[in-house]
Amino acid sequence: MRKPIIAANWKMNKTLLEATSFIEQVKGEVLPKSKVDSVVCPPALFLAQLVELVKNSDLEISAQNMHFEESGAFTGEISPKALEDIGVKYVIIGHSERREMFNETDETVNKKVLAAFNYHLTPIVCVGETLQQYEKGETKRIVGSQVKMAFAGLTEQQVKQAIIAYEPIWAIGTGKSSTAKAANEVCGYIRRVVAEQFSKEAAESIRIQYGGSVKPENIKEFMSEPNIDGALVGGASLEAQSFLQLLEAGCNG
């Protein structure tokens, strides 16, 4: 049985006060870690403080991005070593907004995934097709190749621990989500790609989230699908009550 994982991607939202107040409201109310991994991905500025705030709770903290080098002349970048050092557990890698606006490629995604494991961070690797690719029927080809490139050079053991977030780009922040059945089919295809690249066991162990306009009203549909193990949620994760509803509807329903 794969444990569900729900992650709140705050993107570039919230002040420090808003971030800490969210955590204070949520941390005593989330479901136990034995049942679901509940992860908050705040802006990098607040990571250290939020890691301290969630200690002894069932919440965990994820970075939204990092560099693949541990140190050096990379002005403005985030070191994976520093993330490990402050107690961050997860890192989102290759979000479509970073691929589209900050020139991330399958190669840099791969370097970052390898670096994440070197620093004991669990990568949440984002893959997904554009609207144009979706309309041309290229979803599986694109997503399959993104997965293969992201995982090149990993061990089977590492792949079993990684998280993939399948996020059709046309569904992110648009209010238009994929149907649960269609998302499940793509996630099933991702498992086949992982089985070919690594092993059947790796494909069965890896957790795959769906992302793209998930909200408390539709999360249950996605979570009921056999190949979907969780959700990466942007807009609907910004309010404490909505995040708690996502956990409740997604994992307790």
Residue ranges of the annotated binding site for substrate are: 9-11, 173, 213, 234-235
* Active-site residue flag, 95: yes
CA angle 64, 224, 243 (to 5 degrees): 40
- Closest to ligand PEP by CB, 163 vs 236, is 236
User: Residues annotated in the binding site, as ranges?
Assistant: 9-11, 173, 213, 234-235
The radius of gyration of the chain from alpha carbons, rounded to an integer in Å, stands at 17
Q: Which of 129, 167, 221, 225 is an active site residue?
A: 167
Residue 172 makes contact with ligand PEP by CB under 6 A: yes
Nearest distance in Å: CB 15, ligand PEP = 19
Task: Map 182-241 to HEC letters.
Answer: HHHHHHHHHHHHHHHHCCHHHHHHCEEEEECCCCCCCHHHHHCCCCCCEEEECHHHCCHH
Q: CB-wise, 199 or 245, nearer to ligand PEP?
A: 245
Which parts of the chain fold into alpha helices (H)? Answer: 16-26, 47-53, 80-86, 96-101, 106-118, 131-135, 139-150, 156-161, 180-197, 200-205, 219-223, 240-251
Active-site entry in 95, 97, 104, 221:
95
Tell me the residue number closest to ligand PEP, measured at CB: 234
Is 212 one of the binding residues for ligand PEP (CB under 6 A)? yes
Does position 167 bind ligand PEP by CB under 6 A?
A: yes
Active site residue 120: no
Q: Which residues bind ligand PEP (CB under 6 A)?
A: 9, 11, 167, 172-173, 211-214, 232-236
